[in-house]
């Protein structure tokens, strides 16, 4: 038997680059197209989609630079991965309805929604307890950021590769965000 006695080495940018260049792994790095998302826009780069024979899902990189609340739902779960390598960006506000879609839609249609039915949460990046989570299906939500110039916030989402998106009919309601850092 031949033994390979490996010496442990600290991970470095250079070593990770070698693994990436050899096609062995892929780091989470937003593309230039995503980083240059103009105000009022959302850009999505598909990082990968798995082969359906193994259970298809995908990883996307999202650049969000819109200041309009447009609540919607997905029919299944999606995972948020809020990591940032120190790049400046606008704040990411997650607007989330506090009821599953059927009840939320009934309240909106009946004119019974209040500010107690919707939260606007300023999200944190790189926090193990707050930056990685699953949004359950049929949860009304959307992202929002402050208007004006500045770099889009960028985050990652992993979700089923065919996941749909359906807007919530807010009836007579308009939802706005009062942001004061």
Contact between 135 and 70 under an 8 Å Cβ cutoff? The reply is no
| Interval 94-109: pLDDT, tens | 999 999 999 999 999 9
Within a domain: residue 40?
Answer: no
Whose CA is closest to 157, among 30, 66, 71, 72?
Answer: 30
Within a domain: residue 45?
Answer: no
| Interval 77-90: pLDDT, tens | 999 999 998 999 99
Query: pLDDT band for position 12 (50/70/90)?
Result: confident
Whose CA is closest to 93, among 130, 128, 119?
Answer: 119
Q: Which residues contact 168 (CB under 8 A, 6 or more apart)?
A: 71, 72, 73, 97, 101, 104, 105, 108, 140
Dist CA 36 CA 8 (whole Å): 39
Within a domain: residue 89?
Answer: yes
Total structural domains within the chain: 1
| Interval 112-170: pLDDT, tens | 999 999 999 999 999 989 999 999 999 999 999 999 999 999 999 999 998 999 999 99
Within a domain: residue 129?
Answer: yes
| Interval 51-62: pLDDT, tens | 888 889 999 999
Within a domain: residue 115?
Answer: yes
Residue 146 sits in which domain range? 64-153+163-167
Within a domain: residue 124?
Answer: yes
Within a domain: residue 125?
Answer: yes
Query: Which of 6-10, 18-22, 72-76, 152-156 bottoms out in mean pLDDT, i.e. has the lowest?
Result: 6-10
Which letter, b or e, does each residue of 93-106 get, where b requires 16 or more Cβ atoms within 10 Å of its Cβ?
Answer: bbbebebebeebbe
Query: pLDDT band for position 6 (50/70/90)?
Result: confident
Within a domain: residue 59?
Answer: no
């Amino acid at each position: 038997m031949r033994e390979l006695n490996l010496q442990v080495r600290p991970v470095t940018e250079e070593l990770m680059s070698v693994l990436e260049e050899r096609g062995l792994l892929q780091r989470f790095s937003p593309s230039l197209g995503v980083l240059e998302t103009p105000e009022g826009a959302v850009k999505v780069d598909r990082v990968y989609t798995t082969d359906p024979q193994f259970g298809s899902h995908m990883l996307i990189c999202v650049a969000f630079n819109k200041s309009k609340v447009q609540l919607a739902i997905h029919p299944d779960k999606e995972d948020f991965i809020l990591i940032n390598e120190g790049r400046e960006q606008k704040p990411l506000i997650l607007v989330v309805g506090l009821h599953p879609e059927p009840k939320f839609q009934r309240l909106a249609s009946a004119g019974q929604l209040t500010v107690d039915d919707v939260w606007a949460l300023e999200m944190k990046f790189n926090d193990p307890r707050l930056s990685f989570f699953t949004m359950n299906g049929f949860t009304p939500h959307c992202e929002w950021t402050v208007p004006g110039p500045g770099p889009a916030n960028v985050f990652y989402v992993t979700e089923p590769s065919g996941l749909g998106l359906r807007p919530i009919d807010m009836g007579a309601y308009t939802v706005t965000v009062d942001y004061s850092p």
